[in-house]
């Protein structure tokens, strides 16, 4: 019997389809994002973290999506331009640098995260760290969904 579900015959699921096909999963992902948004962390910082994780994961959809949100949240274009090279740029505060280092460690699933975790302490409360970690986990989950299903950014 021939396989009617070969990769050539499958159409990838776009973001709207994902919402329609998996509404409870979609709602859960949005609820997790809302919990982070309501945590008290600065919106611009949250967006920098989401963009950096999306860059590492090569998720074009999420990189563009969160770059647009970051601009609306007041993140300077210079920071967005220099985000891939943030360690060598002087445009990021010590708090942002600590958050970006934590983002890279968690996104890479580094087993040695002690230095990055310790670096958070002067800038983040334990509650902040919990929500920052949740933001990183959430965007990494979105990156995997968007990457696997090949969500594409709108043509611009």
Least confident of 12-16, 62-66, 84-88: 12-16
What percentage of the chain reaches a pLDDT higher than 90?
79
Is 116 in contact with 85 (CB distance < 8 Å)?
no
How far apart CA 156 and CA 145 sit, in angstroms, is 22
pLDDT band at 2 (very low <50, low <70, confident <90, very high): very low
How far apart CA 125 and CA 8 sit, in angstroms, is 50
Condensed to tens digits (0 to 9), the pLDDT of residues 25-40 reads 999 999 999 999 999 9
* pLDDT, average across residues 39-54: 98
Is 120 in contact with 86 (CB distance < 8 Å)?
no
Q: What is the pLDDT of residue 8?
A: 52
Closest CA to 43 of 62, 69, 64: 69
pLDDT band at 7 (very low <50, low <70, confident <90, very high): low
Domains defined along the chain, listed by start? 25-149 (1.20.1290.10)
Residues with Cβ within 8 Å of 12's Cβ and at least 6 positions away in sequence, in order, are: 149, 150
Cβ neighbour number for residue 128 with a 10 Å cutoff: 17
Closest CA to 98 of 130, 76, 81, 122: 122
Condensed to tens digits (0 to 9), the pLDDT of residues 122-154 reads 999 999 999 999 999 999 999 999 998 988 887
């Amino acid at each position: 019997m021939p396989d009617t579900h070969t990769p050539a015959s499958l159409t990838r699921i776009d973001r709207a389809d994902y919402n329609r096909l998996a509404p409870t999963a979609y709602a859960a992902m949005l609820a997790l994002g809302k919990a982070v948004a309501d945590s008290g962390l600065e919106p611009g910082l949250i967006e920098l973290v989401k963009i950096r994780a999306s860059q590492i994961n090569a998720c074009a959809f999420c990189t563009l999506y969160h770059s647009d949100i970051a601009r609306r949240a007041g993140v300077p274009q210079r920071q967005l331009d220099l985000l891939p090279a943030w360690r060598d740029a002087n445009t990021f505060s010590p708090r942002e640098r600590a958050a970006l280092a934590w983002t890279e460690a968690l996104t890479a699933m580094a087993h040695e995260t002690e230095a990055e975790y310790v670096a958070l302490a002067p800038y983040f409360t334990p509650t902040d760290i919990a929500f920052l970690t949740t933001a990183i986990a959430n965007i990494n989950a979105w990156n995997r969904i968007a990457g696997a299903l090949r969500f594409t950014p709108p043509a611009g």
